[in-house]
Amino acid sequence: MNASATLPPAVVRPAVEDRHWLSSDHCAAPVLDLLDGLGWTIAETPEANIHMTSPEGGVYVGWLPEDPSAWAREIVWRVQVLPADGEVWVQEFGVHTPSEAVAGFLAALVTHSSC
C-alpha cells in the first residue's frame, strides 16, 4: 500500500491573529458601512437602535442593542425581507454573532437580489 494514498488532505488553519472577527465586538460598523455604501436609508433612534431599509423598501435590517423585546429573545440583528411575490421571511442573529458575519449574509443577499 502506498502511504501517501492513505493520508488525509492537509488542513489549512488560519493563524490565530486572523480569527479576531469570529467573536463579536458588539459594533455595527461593518453592516452600517456596507448598507450606507449601497444607498440604504439609515435611521438611528434616541435609544441607539438603528433601522435600515433598502432603496426599494423590500428589505429591513435592525440593529437593536437597546430593544427590550430583542434582548428577551437574545437577538441584536433582525433582517426582514418583503418579497414582491412571496411570503415575508425573517432572519435574526444573536448577541454574539459578529457584525462581519451579518455583513457577509447581507452582502450575499443583495448580490442575488435587487435590494
In this predicted model, what pLDDT tens digit does every residue of 50-70 receive, in sequence order? 999 999 999 999 999 999 999
Per residue in 19-53, pLDDT tens?
Answer: 555 555 678 999 999 999 999 999 999 998 999 99
Distance separating alpha carbons of residues 83 and 32, to the nearest angstrom: 22
Q: Which three cell numbers stand for residue 90?
A: 425573517
Predicted confidence band of residue 8 (pLDDT cuts 50, 70, 90): low
Is residue 115 within 8 Å of residue 56, measured between CB atoms?
yes
Helix ranges restricted to H, 15-98: 29-37, 68-72
Q: What is the pLDDT of residue 84?
A: 86
Is residue 94 within 8 Å of residue 73, measured between CB atoms?
no
Closest C-alpha among 37, 32, 33, 94 to residue 65: 94
Question: pTM score > 0.75 for this model?
Answer: yes
